Amino acid sequence: MTTPSVTDRMSAEPAGPDREAAFVHALDVLADRRDEFNAQGYVSKDFVALLKKAGMYRASTPAQFGGEPMAPSDFMRLVERVSAVDPATGWVASFGSSLVYFAALPVETQRKIYAAGPDLAYAGGLFPMQEAEKVDGGYVCSGVWQFASGCRGADILGIGLAGGPQTAGKPLTALVDPADVEIVENWDVAGMKATGSHAVRADGVFVPDEMTFVRGGEPQIDEPLTRYPALAYAAQVLAVVTLGAARGALDYAIEVGSSRTSITGGASKGNRSTYKIGVAEAEAELRAAQTFFYGTTDTVWAKAVAAIEISVEEQALLRLAATHAAHAGRRVVLRAFDLAGTGAIYQTHPLQRFLQDALVPAQHAMLQTNTYEAAGALLLGLEAGIPSFP
């Protein structure tokens, strides 16, 4: 595999005030361009560059390769802030966490990938897992893979391969250069349009063994972030998008409710008992979900930093907190939509972006209702009943 597309990567601003200013600037630009991204169906690569300047794409690069790994809560609070402006862009930004998977690659491969810099945008179209031809030194890959969120702005792509005897049956992710595959534009959806989660097609692409890894496999790098449960983190970074969407929708409801009069000249919406109760209940549900979500994250992170074993029960709580966040956040957005009344049904209404996007995360396989059952089973000492859970 060659990597010409990553030889001139954008670099993050220095940590501190410059980087925070870059992040705030990105949010300002996003507020101006979110309709553009939604209309075109993807987040433009030049905006991904702004997120790189804000440090979001070095947040899971190992420190030994120039990264500045962030504590999961710190990173996810950034994703939440992006999602409060535009959830679909928050979804794309969340994959700044996904380089934790690369820790399962040989160390020399990781050194090669990060040689051009630690700010790397990765997107994966992993399903359905395809049978690849095993040849000397690697795999010849052909097929179509779905749901490659952020592929239009990615520096490197992953495709899913069915495992074999050499992987003890575990599926593999193969890393390919975007120039070596085709993006199939089939992302025609009602929500999360701007994620650009198109399909990826490969036709006889050779991938060396050293550019493949088991997703969530044994890390070859020992740093706190590589000790944190990778698959649970993958669920969390998607769930937190819904918390951001809920914050954005509820802030809008509060702003509208604070107006002194309604459009009809009568009492303002905020003076109606149903509106006041609705805002209060939604605020309580959102803050409760955030507390469970970040509190559980910080408890497990402290163990990762101290190199203390993280129990199955603790991993199950991470998954439970993620599922709860996705579903609670969706309920908050629906409450804000209900409070807004008839006007919110128009496509141009400000709540529509939050409504359409916030319905999606809880539909994801890692956050669907059955993950509640799986988490409950583990807390009861039973089998989860879902592969690769927690």
What pLDDT, on a 0 to 100 scale, did the predictor assign at position 167? 79
Q: Which residues pair with 122 in a beta bridge?
A: 156
What pLDDT, on a 0 to 100 scale, did the predictor assign at position 265? 62
What pLDDT, on a 0 to 100 scale, did the predictor assign at position 170? 84
**308-334: pLDDT as tens digits:** 999 999 999 999 999 999 999 999 999
pLDDT beyond 80 at 179: yes
What pLDDT, on a 0 to 100 scale, did the predictor assign at position 255? 95
What pLDDT, on a 0 to 100 scale, did the predictor assign at position 301? 99
CA dist 281 → 16, 188, 277, 291 (Å): 36, 34, 6, 15
CA distance 155 to 149: 13
pLDDT beyond 80 at 168: no
**54-91: pLDDT as tens digits:** 999 999 999 999 999 999 999 999 999 999 999 999 99
pLDDT band for position 262 (cuts 50, 70, 90):
low
What is the arithmetic mean of pLDDT over 142-151?
98
Average pLDDT value over all residues in the chain: 95
What pLDDT, on a 0 to 100 scale, did the predictor assign at position 259? 78
What pLDDT, on a 0 to 100 scale, did the predictor assign at position 111? 98
What pLDDT, on a 0 to 100 scale, did the predictor assign at position 165? 79
Burial (0-12, 13-18, 19+ Cβ within 10 Å), 335: buried
What is the arithmetic mean of pLDDT over 116-131?
96
CA distance 225 to 72: 8
pLDDT beyond 70 at 2: no
CA distance 75 to 69: 9
More confidently predicted of 354 and 262: 354
3-class SS of residue 238? helix
pLDDT beyond 70 at 202: yes
pLDDT beyond 50 at 7: no
What pLDDT, on a 0 to 100 scale, did the predictor assign at position 266? 64
What pLDDT, on a 0 to 100 scale, did the predictor assign at position 263? 59
pLDDT beyond 60 at 8: no
- E strands present in the chain: 122-130, 133-135, 138-148, 156-161, 172-176, 182-184, 198-208, 212-214
The domains of the chain, with CATH numbers, are: 4-113 (1.10.540.10), 122-214 (2.40.110.10), 228-379 (1.20.140.10)
pLDDT beyond 60 at 375: yes
What is the arithmetic mean of pLDDT over 8-12?
82
More confidently predicted of 269 and 373: 373
